């Protein structure tokens, strides 16, 4: 448009002869500019929508590990409890702590500690099913929701399998650089139907575990919810 505006001014000053282009150069410039402007506005709007989606996504994802955060974990736990009660399924919740995080930081440094957290997150995610939920709840604590229906042996093997997977040595790393985890596990809905209380009881199990103990798996005592019978739950 700026280039096109030069032609009428030059023609008015008798600097160039009168022709189609000198008479209509500005209109041609406008005709070219408007489609370009519409395309650029559409691209900008798309980038803005993508930016908003990314911002909203960071509110639900732990930025360090890419796992879901504690808020989403609690939301899914509520839905899991309701679904398990309604369909009478056996599901499970697990809290996983990296018990040797402080020794790793002391012996190998902060970068190695952060890398170990990422490696544990990857192993938890790799060992879970697509329907399960893996989340990072705090600095060195993770949560896992196992969707039912689960068989009794699947429940019994879940926590020991996580412990064994995390203890496996990492490639090109010393054997001492390994994650020693503790797992607290509860059945849903048999061990409780209040999400906050259920998480609190599991956290208490982990908090009261002896630092030098060899035990790595802790189970809540099975308490059948009011109005249900163990035989009604799907094996």
Give per-residue pLDDT as tens, 180-228.
999 999 999 999 889 999 999 999 999 998 877 788 999 986 434 444 4
140 and 166 in one domain? Answer: yes
- CA quadruple 61, 67, 72, 78: dihedral, nearest 10: 170
Q: b/e string for 186-218 if b means 16 or more Cβ within 10 A?
A: bbbbbbbbebeebbebbbebbeeeeeeeeebbb
Residue 65 lies in a domain: no
Least confident range of 13-27, 51-65, 85-99, 188-202: 13-27
- Domain of residue 141 covers 70-232
Instruction: Read off the tokens for 163.
Output: 């412990």
User: Does pLDDT of 84 surpass 60?
Assistant: yes
pTM for this predicted structure: 0.70
Same domain, 133 and 178: yes
Domains held by the chain: number: 2
Q: Looking at the structure, do residues 51 and 149 belong to the same domain, yes or no? A: no
Q: Let me know if residue 64 belongs to a domain.
A: no
> Within its chain, how far is the Cα of 181 from the centroid?
20
pLDDT at 6 over 50: yes
Residue 63 lies in a domain: no
Same domain? 82 vs 198:
yes
Q: What is the pLDDT of residue 12?
A: 66
The enclosing H or E element of 134 equals: strand 133-138
């Amino acid at each position: 448009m700026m280039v096109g505006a030069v032609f009428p001014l030059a023609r008015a000053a008798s600097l160039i002869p009168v022709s189609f282009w000198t008479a209509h150069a500005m209109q041609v410039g406008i005709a070219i500019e408007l489609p370009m402007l519409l395309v650029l506005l559409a691209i900008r709007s798309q980038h803005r929508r993508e930016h908003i989606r990314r911002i909203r996504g960071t509110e639900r994802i732990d930025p360090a590990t890419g796992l879901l955060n504690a808020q989403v974990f609690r939301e899914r736990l509520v839905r899991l409890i309701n679904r398990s009660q309604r369909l009478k399924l056996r599901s499970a919740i697990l809290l996983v702590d990296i018990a040797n995080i402080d020794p790793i930081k002391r012996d190998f440094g902060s970068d190695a500690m952060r890398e170990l957290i990422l490696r544990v997150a990857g192993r938890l995610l790799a060992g879970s099913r697509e329907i399960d939920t893996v989340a990072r709840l705090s600095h060195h604590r993770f949560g896992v929701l196992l969707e039912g229906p689960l068989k009794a042996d699947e429940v019994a093997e879940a926590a020991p399998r996580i412990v064994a997977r995390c203890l496996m040595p990492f490639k090109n790393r010393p054997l001492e650089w390994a994650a020693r985890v503790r797992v607290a596990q509860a059945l849903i809905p048999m061990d409780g139907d209040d999400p906050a209380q259920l998480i609190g009881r599991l956290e208490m199990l982990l908090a009261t575990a002896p630092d030098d103990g060899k035990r790595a798996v802790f189970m809540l005592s099975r308490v059948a919810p009011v109005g249900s019978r163990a035989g009604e739950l799907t094996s």
